[in-house]
Amino acid sequence: MATALFIIDVQNDFTEGGALGVTGGAGVAAGVTRLLREHPERYDVVFASRDWHDAHNDNGGHFASAEPNFVDTWPVHCVAGTEGAAYHPDLDTSLIDIHVRKGQGKPAYSIFDGIADTGESVENALDRLGVDAIDVVGIATDYCVLASALGALDAGREVRVLTDLIAGVAPDSSAAALDRLRGAGADLVSSEAA
């Protein structure tokens, strides 16, 4: 069986200075690159997701029409083809095998809501490649990392969240997300202990 890495939404708009930048986002980008360069044998396949929102609509109410509530509605971010939607420059994209775009016209938090550039669903790709274990890293702990890790658990995979390679929107909601993941069966480990 095979092990995969899920890199969740390490994009310019979710890192420092972006439309929805979180503290530590750039460090996640650099840390993931370092992990993959130092341990090239650790993963059989590397997936990376990106929010890839439509420019000319509210993406199913995801983009706020007035003041965002930062729960279900958000400022405009990660519009398809923009610099904000690009991977952070410290993430070495040559190390990624499967690129996944999500949120095209609708809200999408989990990598499982997206489609690979090849048109394949994430779950089909996991099945085709015989992936039974997934490590999850990325942004944001309390939203898309949470949803993606829960999706992997729901898909019957063993899941580890690498706690030194995630960054969240807020400390309390990030801690609650990790508690929820632990309770759902995910292991929480550092990348060095993994």
Q: Which residues contact 86 (CB under 8 A, 6 or more apart)?
A: 11, 12
Q: What's the pLDDT tens digit per position in 100-152? A: 999 998 889 999 999 999 999 999 999 999 999 999 999 999 999 999 999 99
Q: Position 25: which residue type?
A: G
The total of other beta-carbon atoms located within 10 Å of residue 61's CB is 12
Rounded to an integer, what distance in angstroms lies between the CA atom of residue 52 and that of residue 48?
Answer: 12
pTM: 0.96
CB 159 within 8 A of CB 3: no
- Which residues in the chain land under pLDDT 70? none
Amino acid, res. 8: I
DSSP bridge partners of 166: 138
Beta strand 115-116 with 98-102: parallel, antiparallel or unpaired? antiparallel
pLDDT for res 71? 83
Whether 102 sits among the annotated catalytic residues: the reply is yes
Rg (CA), the chain: 15
Q: Are 19 and 28 in contact (CB under 8 A)?
A: no
Domain 2-189: give its CATH superfamily.
Answer: Isochorismatase-like (3.40.50.850)
**CA-to-CA distance for 62 and 64, rounded, in angstroms?**
6
Confidence (pLDDT) at 30: 98
Given 13, 51, 102, 135, the catalytic residue = 102
144 is known as an active-site residue: yes
Q: Tokens for 75, please give them.
A: 């400022």
Q: Does 106 participate in catalysis according to the annotation?
A: no
Q: What is the DSSP string of 9-49?
A: --BGGGSTTSTT--TTHHHHHHHHHHHHHH-TTS-SEEEEE
Across the chain, what does the average pLDDT equal?
A: 96
Catalytic site residue from 13, 78, 113, 144: 144
Cα(112)–Cα(123) distance, integer angstroms: 7
List the beta bridge partners of residue 158.
133
Q: Number of C-alpha atoms within 13 angstroms, CB side, residue 185? A: 12
State residue 69's pLDDT score: 86
pLDDT at 193: 81
* Per-domain boundaries in the chain: 2-189
Catalytic residue among 9, 13, 113, 142: 9
**CA-CA-CA-CA torsion for 179, 185, 191, 194, nearest 10 degrees?**
150
* pLDDT score of 24: 98
